[in-house]
Amino acid sequence: MGIYVTGIGIISALGRGWRQTAASLRENRSGIASLTLFPNVQPFAVGEVRQAFDDSEIPRTHQLALSASEDALAACGGKSPEAVIVGITTGGMPKTEFLLKSGAEDPDLYRYHASGSVAQHIAEFCKCNGPVFTVSTACSSGAVAVALGKKLLQSGAVGSVLAGGADALCRLTYHGFNALQLLSPEGAKPFDRDRNGMSLAEGAAMLFMESAEHMPENGVAEILGAGLSCDAYHAASPHPEGLGALKAMEAAIRDSGLEPRDIDYINLHGTGTASNDASEAKAVNRLFDKNKPRLSSIKGATGHSLAAAGAMEMAVSIISMFENQVPANYGLQHPDPALEINPQMAPEVCQIRTVLSNSFGFGGNNAALVAGIPRRAVARTYLKPLSMTVMGHACVTGKGRMRDTAAFFLSANPFNGILSLSEMSADLPARAIRRLKRLPRLALCLADDAIKDSAIKKPPSGVFFSTGWGALTETNDFLSRLFKNQERFSSPMDFVGSVHNAPAGEIAMMFNATGPNVTMTGGDYSFEQALMAACLMGNETDSPFLVIGADEGHPMLSPLFDPSVSCSSTLADGGGGLCLVQAKNGVQIRPVFYRKADGGDRTVRALVDCLGGKNKVQNRYGALFVGIPAFFRAAAEKQLKSFQAVSGSRAPVIDYRKFTGEFASASAVAISLAVHCLQHDSIPPYSSQNEAVSLNSGAILVIGTGQYLTAVEVFRT
């Protein structure tokens, strides 16, 4: 089976669609110009999309993503994808900034704030009822989304995926990168001797991808390989020797079944900053030695569109193959001799059959993709999602860590609330956490406890992190300071810490985890997304890897952003962590279902069928741990009753949010507690029981309800 691109949508400062993009690249035009979206700021050259959008209620990021999705779907004949995966960093921030600055207190006004709301918006538009995932790995997000789409298709779980990335210009990123002194006043000049920074930009690109035995008639390219890595070096700077970038490129080429000599063109990450360009050049030189293919960065023409960049540059790479046109490294006038590479000074007409596209981001997140025009028959096998063995588990709640939380749980007492920073950080190295705020400390505590519980001796091979809302303290502190001083000064530390994947980067640095580093964010279903990504991507190694889910409770922002928090009288937060490995014995975990809830019994029947039918459900599960978000309680309770009726299950039901309190990562706590319960063969009392009862060696099914219906099995082999 091959993974083929049958539709492309792209919108950037160069224009909208394949034709406008190809023409701009062919004529070596730039879309970089002065910022117009928000006034009264220090003017830097940016890659602003000049298209007007009609609906002011919908944030700009959503509008950009929708434009690219419309074009991708039109190109593939109007098909509906079976899954949607979008890379995002800003989400609804362009609108949220305005609301916060104006003091808006109605939570309904913030319904588009979540990064995950962009993918949900696209899924609604294209009538996708399957998995809807959001990747947030900073500037590699769009490329990681394509890589995850490839893995999902290879698993056989779906036959088509709409994958890509989108980001809009907003004050958070504009002032943040300015605070880091990374913006070029006149425009980026990647790999130039006199380069002096990046050009911030916006845009979106979406690829419609299908699995098939042979190239479809409307196919334009095949996604051949993907490689992910983490520098585990610094929160905002790349490894100076390019080791992470090299590892990602090597993995992508290896995954494609090709050799470096088979690559005809490299679309470089090339931001135009001194350290990023130097690091990438070293990686390219080590991989290709003296026989380098043609190479260029297009960010001098498009600007750096953050989460959209990887998807946009994959789209441009495919367009370049199809048009037989190598794009120029716009802005390059004097190649830096110290870099020992020679990017394209001008567009060139030549045949390109295979491309390598690089994307690197904050937290050391690296992604590389290989695409090509199929040149020979290649045997490709499905990568079935595996159940993973739990080596270690952990949780943090308002009443403490695993031991204390489990004691409250098994005595049927709630453990919601906010654990103090001092209790959470007690076992963490003071030097590692001295500048960290709540969410990264929470993530590090979970990772540390899970690794200690596993007793593994070597570093984890990768980190899969999830958060519904990201680092709220850093976001609030950054924007509050910015608004108070009339947008003149901002905090670079808070900006770096505000990106959703910052905690995952901290975990990687603490434990030297240089493999895949993937952050997922999808509201109440973020941890389930991370688990699915881990089981798809973590099966490439025999080494253990971490899956962590965490959210912080912020007194101002949490009730505004999370509708379930606004329904609760007690602010709560916490998370759960797992150390997993491929093995056949012990406690196993397996995500088995993720679909949009349709309001009737259809999705429930699909879940029961996926679990093996009524008899298997009745005989297999000793307990149901059910997540019922407060905001969706009425609909969720109907879904639970429907499941019990359709499956005939009489297993005890544990409504775990009554214990955890309301926060997006409550399912991470529930799944960690399910592991604990299975290990100790006991669950909390239910009905008229007044003490913990035996599981009778049954498995536990953890069900998510509300907007989506999800299921994760925890069982023993």
The rounded Cα 375 to chain-centroid distance in angstroms is: 32
User: How far is C-alpha 158 from the geometric centre of its chain's CA atoms?
Assistant: 19
Does residue 125 carry a pLDDT above 50? yes
Residue finishing a domain among 330, 347, 372:
372
Does a structural domain hold residue 406?
yes
Q: Are residues 400 and 315 in the same domain?
A: no
Q: What is the mean pLDDT of residues 414-434?
A: 94
91 and 129, same domain (yes or no):
yes
Q: Are residues 494 and 416 part of one domain?
A: yes
Identify whether the C-beta of residue 221 lies closer than 8 Å to the C-beta of residue 322: yes
Position 274 scores a pLDDT of 96
One domain for residues 178 and 213? yes
Q: How many CA atoms lie within 13 A of 145 on its CB side?
A: 42
pTM for this model (two decimals): 0.97
As given in the structure block, the two tokens for residue 65 are: 């993503």
CATH of the domain at 159: 3.40.47.10
Residue 380 within a domain:
no
378 belongs to a structural domain: no
Model pLDDT for residues 51-62, shown as the tens digit of each residue: 888 777 899 999
pLDDT of residue 385: 52
What is the pLDDT at residue 542? 74
pLDDT-derived band of residue 420, with 50, 70 and 90 as boundaries?
very high
- Whether residues 532 and 673 fall in one domain: no
Same domain, 229 and 368: yes
Strand segments (E) across 314-406: 325-326, 348-349, 354-361, 365-372, 388-396
Q: What is the rounded average pLDDT of the residues 206-222?
A: 93
Kindly calculate the radius of gyration of the chain based on its CA atoms and give it in whole angstroms: 24
The CA-based angle 625-631-636, given to 5 degrees, is 45
- As a whole number, the mean pLDDT across the chain is 94
User: Is 277 within a domain?
Assistant: yes
Count: domains in the chain: 3
Q: Which domain holds residue 288?
A: 2-372
Of 52-61, 120-129, 146-155, 680-689, give the lowest mean pLDDT range.
680-689
CB 712 within 8 A of CB 591: yes
Domain boundary among 372, 407, 435: 372
pLDDT, position 692: 63
> Is 44 inside any structural domain?
yes
Q: Give the domain-ending residue among 565, 584, 603.
A: 584
Instruction: pLDDT band for 377, please (50, 70, 90 cuts).
Output: very low
Buried/exposed 83-116: b ≥16 CB within 10 Å, e otherwise: bbbbbbbbbbbbbbbebbeeeeeebebbebbbbb
Rounded to 10 deg, the angle between the 666-680 and 526-537 helix axes is 70
Give the mean model confidence (pLDDT) for residues 590-597: 96
- Specify the pLDDT at position 72: 98
pLDDT at 382: 47
